[in-house]
Amino acid sequence: MLNLQIPHATTVSALRARIRSWRDDRLSIGFVPTMGALHDGHISLVRLAKAHCDRVVASVFVNPRQFAEGEDLDAYPRTMLEDSEKLTLARCDLIFLPDVAEMYPEGYSANISMQGAAVGLESVARPHFFDGVATVVAKLFNQVRPDMAFFGEKDYQQLLVIRQMVRDLNFGIDIIGGETMRERDGLAMSSRNVYLSADDRVRAARLNVILKEFAAALNAGMPADQAQKAAMASAAAAFDAVDYVEARCAATLEELPSGPIDRDARVLAAVRLGSTRLIDNMAAKRPS
């Protein structure tokens, strides 16, 4: 059993008891769901939550339902002691640490199936992913019952899927997006960056450059299909494999017409370096 200094709960009943006491004191509650292996991007969300809410809960749960067979469930980094130290310094009020049996007890059968923003991009390579994310986040929302929940824009499609789920199922929770935190060379922070070799870590920074060039071309009025073709060629030359490099409507992730963008857009990419998959995105503004 980990000896954590920060208050923590491992069961739903213990979690709800603590939250009930806060509710009795009329305190607002912010929630930051994570899978652990925390970096500055996660911690920025905790700090954002502290700025908006009286109390902040962070969960650490590696959700098996969003991993397909052959993905990195068993290898996914687990660093609970380091995570608890970071959350303590960020003044998180409570960590929720359920195990798989607490989240998915024997006989569990419910699942949320998402469409809309969940269609395409990530779901092409990982068709299981957003149903698994939506299911676990819905459970966590029902367990924590926060006023606000905080998600990073680095996982932009996931952010829109969660907003859609909250709207469609009437959760009554405000979903707040936090800006993508980056390393000095522009690489988006991710728990999976630890998988990169030294050489691949240098190559990984190229993704940020490609997305900046893609967004700048759209901002300057280049037709979306031409800008995308150029970005795809750059990505294919830089990485071992490319799952997608696309421009989509920023609000809905719908595909864009082939000409100059007529609305705010988002450029999104998923590439591979060896066995490591990197995702990133960037805003593109409609030309004035």
Decide if 42 is catalytic.
yes
Which helix (H) or strand (E) covers residue 138, if one does? helix 129-144
Q: Is 212 one of the annotated binding-site residues?
A: no
Q: Is 190 one of the annotated binding-site residues?
A: yes
Q: Is 39 one of the annotated binding-site residues?
A: yes
Active-site choice (8, 42, 52, 128): 42
Rounded to 5°, angle at Cα 267 from 262 and 272 = 160
Q: Is 66 one of the annotated binding-site residues?
A: yes
Q: What b-and-e string marks burial along 107-133, b requiring 16 or more CB atoms within 10 Å of the CB?
A: eeeeebebebbbeebbbeebeebbbbb
Q: Is 274 one of the annotated binding-site residues?
A: no
C-alpha 24/C-alpha 16 separation (Å) is: 12
Residue indicated by tokens 């935190």: 181
Q: Is 38 one of the annotated binding-site residues?
A: yes
Q: Is 41 one of the annotated binding-site residues?
A: yes
- Those residues with Cβ within 8 angstroms of residue 275's Cβ, 6 or more apart along the chain or in another chain: 195
Q: Is 40 one of the annotated binding-site residues?
A: yes
Q: Is 172 one of the annotated binding-site residues?
A: no
Helix 129-144 and helix 12-24: axis angle, to 10°? 50
Q: Is 37 one of the annotated binding-site residues?
A: yes
Q: Is 155 one of the annotated binding-site residues?
A: yes
- What one-character DSSP code corresponds to residue 245? E
Report in angstroms the alpha-carbon separations of 105 from 108, 111, 199, 285.
Answer: 6, 14, 43, 46
**Residues taking part in catalysis:** 42
Annotation: binding site: 35-42, 66, 152-155, 158, 189-192
Annotation: binding site for beta-alanine: 66
Annotation: binding site for (R)-pantoate: 66, 158
